[in-house]
Chains A and B, each alone.
Chain A
Amino acid sequence: MTDHLLEVRNLSVDFHTAGGTVHAVRNVSWHLDKGETLAILGESGSGKSVSASAIMDLIDIPPGEIVSGEILFNGENLFAMTQDQRREINGRRIAMIFQDPLSHLNPVYTVGFQIAEAMTTHGISKDEARRTTLDLMKRVGIPNAEEKIDAYPHQFSGGQRQRLMIAMALAVKPDILIADEPTTALDVTVQAQILALLEDLQRETGMGLLLITHDLGVVAEVADRVVVMNAGEIVESGSAAQVYRQPVHPYTKTLIAAVPGTGAMAEPLATGIKPILEVNHVSKHYGAFVALEDASLTVLPGETVAIVGESGSGKSTLAKTLLRLEEATGGEALYKGRDLLTMPRRELFDIRREVQMIFQDPTQSLNPRMSVFQIIAEAFAIHPGILPKPQWRGRVRELLEHVGLNATHMDRYPHQFSGGQRQRIAIARALALEPKLIICDEAVSALDVSIQAQVIHLLEQLQRDFGLSYLFIAHDLPLVRDFAHRVVVMQGGRIVEQGPVAQIFDAPQQDYTRNLMAASLHPDPEIQAERRAARQQAQEEYA
């Protein structure tokens, strides 16, 4: 028999799809004790969420099939129970929160109803459920809970929605909380608040916390133990510190090596070079709403300038304004001395050759009905006179080789490539016209850490080969730390601070920047523990 609160034994789950059977997890075993935090760490497709779905009976059967194994909750096998018995456990004994709280809350019901439902479903009276809902909303830090209880999910911010999900999950005081990427969609400062809230609640209730994540920083911040998954199998497990410090399995080693934020920071470029892009006092207002105000920055040839900030900081607005996807309200942006913001369309068309853009989601920014060749060669069709048609295929082959793709695949379609490969295609397309400046809007955010590292490496190499400049918009600070020469910090539509990367990261001048840095998580559990101690001390002093 077992003493563990929850134990997964030799679990194997298959998914039968049109393309054949996928072994989502194979022979997975792990356990969780009372009051403990276990992290399941893995990249997309590693099967890290599958065992949690099996616990909650959320696997659709078919196409899913539980091939073997058992899940013991307090020693009882969940798979041997009836559906009604499973429902009694769901929500009441084991609760779950998800990555994207907006889509996981029902848009057409009030949050009060949805939180209370977690209780009424398990036999608590409506009145009592509503009273408890109010208490819970206050406990998770929703201001004006009395008014907000009858509001709808879209009327809350992202962080508040995740707080509401937590309130819903904890309504019946479960023994176990499963959190599937609970902070991935959130800004770093909000992430820090949510993780702190989860820890507080865990201390209060003594529940076991199962955290599913791809983020080593999150593991370092909260996990006691960690299980690393790759391709459906557990490759390594142990205490968080032990796995980070002494990884045994080659996959874990690559994963840890790929995590940004630990390398050397770039030296600033020599001064006295004429900037390729000079942005002066650019602003963008939507009616009374100020999306961007008085933004000024420069980009030198061969330089990477990162723009960091939380959602709503105006960083994407700045990019769109520079590309004239949005008309600026005021200011100028001089590219090689000519103002991008006011130049006639004809001239702008020519400049577009030299200023290219890479978007966040390559799945959406590549036309699914065009082959890779068509996608890349379209640039030559739009800008005639650059390259005669007979040479297009040869040039596309060259470009694909540059970005590390197999050139013989140029007649395939985007869906036949992985996420990382698609972003390489997007980069090849941007390179087709031999640009001088590439604006990357969260260009690697949608990619797994190991793929992210490859793409960043590629961008660095292309910068060396072709002297490219990047305006790199990102929310991921460790990534920026490793990649950028200079950093621009934005908040509420304004630039609050800018300077060489070492200065911004090691000696930030502004409170906002300092907060941002402090909220960003380091993958090393020991360093993260030190930061936590410092943070708590700062809070106590402040109080």
Chain B
Amino acid sequence: MQSFLGKRAVASAISLVGLIILVFFLSRLTGDPTDLYLPVDASLESRERFREINGLNDPLLIQFVHYMGDLLRFDFGDSIRRSEPALEAVLRGFGWTLQLAVITMSLVTVSAIVLGSLAAFHVGGIFDRIATFFSLIGASAPDFWVAIVAIVIFSVGLGWLPTSGTGTPWHWVLPVAVLFIRPFGLILQVVRGAMITALHAPYVKTARAKGVRNRPIIFVHALRNALLPVITVIGDQTTAILNGAVVVETIFGFPGIGKLMIDSILQRDFNVILAAIMVTAFAIFLLNLLIDILYAVLDPRIRY
């Protein structure tokens, strides 16, 4: 287990360094932030000064060496836009997104597993039809469209829910609901498929021959065997939200990391882009580790 953890950490660190190099240079291809932050008629001196302050005057390689040096001291630099440490801005945004992801994915997981299991138990039955209906919607409805239509109906038309921002629990309803649809449809299908296989497995026959009731057959015998592919997809979908539910966060004016990232890219706020990428990368590393550990917990045949 320890050597597994060590190997994973080293492999992830290597990819992270590669990612930093890539993003560092690519983001600088978008142009000079000076043009964005100073008025068009700003003097040459003030432009010089701005570049000097933000360390943009050095050759690119020197900038990179400085950046990496700072990074080793856990200094992620300052945000040009916000004049605060980039990491602070990022962690604040990440906190919001993390809450959004945890709430959404918890709801998705519970509902998809229950409905998917019941759908698999009676293929073609009422639960199966509901499941198929929702997965089709989940797979085919584009979230930006659903988000806008939801705002039109529930906020503008009915006036039940706020259109954007945060503050009350009501502010969470629409973003969570819109983010819920796609992973729910997908995971529902995975649960259904895996459960159909598990419910036809020979060990289920054994359980029936023992006289075990339907509920433990579904939720004790079959479900744990069906969960491996399911948690893989859950991890995948959680990653997608953590990576920034850019569209949904932007539409709902939700101050998460997705919105922060897209804003920083548009504002050439390089330090924030890099910090955001490193924070999400680290979170995804932890998430994948958690999934690997869950594998071993669920299936005793898997040992690292």
Contact = CB atoms under 8 A, between A and B. Distances in A.
Interface string B180-219: 0000000000000000000001110111111111000000
A107 B301 CA distance: 8
A254 interface: no
A103 B300 contact: no
B303 to A, nearest CB: 11
Given A104-B203, A107-B203, A152 B210 contact: no
Contacts of B211: 87-92, 118, 121-122
B293 to A, nearest CB: 15
Interface string A161-185: 0000100110000000000000000
Contacts of A118: 210-211
A58 B300 contact: no
B299 interface: yes
A117 B203 contact: no
Interface string A95-123: 11010100111111100001001100110
A103 B197 CA distance: 13
A106 B301 CA distance: 12
A106 B300 contact: no
B213 A106 contact: no
Given A57-B208, A118-B210, A121-B212, A98 B202 contact: yes
Contact of A152 (B201, B213, B224, B301): B301
A165 B206 CA distance: 9
A56 interface: yes
Contacts of A26: none
Nearest to A84: B213
B62 interface: no
Given A108-B224, A108-B298, A98 B205 contact: yes
A89 B208 CA distance: 11
A90 B203 contact: no
Contacts of A338: none
Nearest to B209: A96
Contacts of B212: 87, 91, 117, 121
A395 interface: no
B208 A103 contact: no
B221 interface: yes
A393 interface: no
A88 B212 CA distance: 9
A121 B213 contact: yes
B210 A121 contact: yes
B225 interface: yes
A124 to B, nearest CB: 12
B187 to A, nearest CB: 20
B300 A104 contact: no
Size bin of chain B's contact surface: 10 to 19
Nearest to B201: A103
A103 B224 contact: no
A90 B210 contact: yes
B301 A104 contact: no
A91 B209 CA distance: 6
Residue in B203, B213, B298 with the greatest tally of chain A CB atoms within 10 Å: B203
B297 to A, nearest CB: 10
Interface in B117-175: none
Nearest to B220: A109
Contacts of A103: 201-203
Interface in B212-252: 212-213, 221, 224-225
Size bin of chain A's contact surface: 20 to 34
Given A106-B225, A107-B225, A108-B225, A168 B203 contact: no
A89 B299 CA distance: 31
Contacts of A96: 206, 209
A117 B203 CA distance: 13
Contact of A108 (B207, B208, B210, B300): B300
Contact of B210 (A100, A107, A109, A117): A117
B300 A152 contact: yes
Nearest to B225: A108
Contact of A91 (B203, B210, B225, B299): B210
Interface string A369-397: 00000000000000000000000000000
A100 to B, nearest CB: 7
A154 interface: yes
Residue in A91, A96, A108, A121 with the greatest tally of chain B CB atoms within 10 Å: A108
Interface in A331-365: none
A233 to B, nearest CB: 25
Contacts of A105: 203, 206
Contact of A154 (B206, B224, B225, B301): B301
A100 B201 CA distance: 12
Nearest to B208: A58
A56 B208 contact: yes
Interface in A42-64: 56-58
A221 B224 CA distance: 40
A388 B200 CA distance: 49
A96 to B, nearest CB: 4
A98 B206 contact: yes
A90 B301 contact: no
B209 A95 contact: yes
Contacts of A108: 224-225, 298-300
Contacts of A152: 300-301
B203 to A, nearest CB: 4
A105 B224 CA distance: 14
Given A87-B213, A121-B213, A154-B301, A104 B202 contact: yes
A100 B209 contact: no
Nearest to B213: A87
Contacts of B208: 56-58, 90
A5 B108 CA distance: 51
Contacts of B221: 106, 109
Contacts of B203: 103-107
A98 B301 CA distance: 22
B38 to A, nearest CB: 63
Contacts of B300: 107-108, 152, 154
Interface in B247-304: 298-301
Nearest to A113: B220
Contacts of B210: 90-91, 95, 117-118, 121, 168
A107 B213 contact: no
Contacts of A107: 203, 225, 299-301
A429 B92 CA distance: 68
A107 B198 CA distance: 11
A104 B213 contact: no
A95 to B, nearest CB: 7
A169 B300 CA distance: 24
Shortest Cβ-Cβ A-B pairs, 5 listed: A91-B211, A90-B211, A91-B210, A106-B203, A96-B209
Given A107-B299, A114-B206, 10 more contacts: A58-B205, A91-B211, A95-B210, A98-B206, A103-B203, A105-B206, A108-B224, A118-B210, A168-B206, A169-B209
Interface of B: 201-203, 205-213, 221, 224-225, 298-301
Interface of A: 56-58, 87-92, 95-96, 98, 100, 103-109, 114, 117-118, 121-122, 152, 154, 165, 168-169
6 contacts: A91-B209, A98-B205, A106-B225, A108-B300, A117-B210, A165-B206
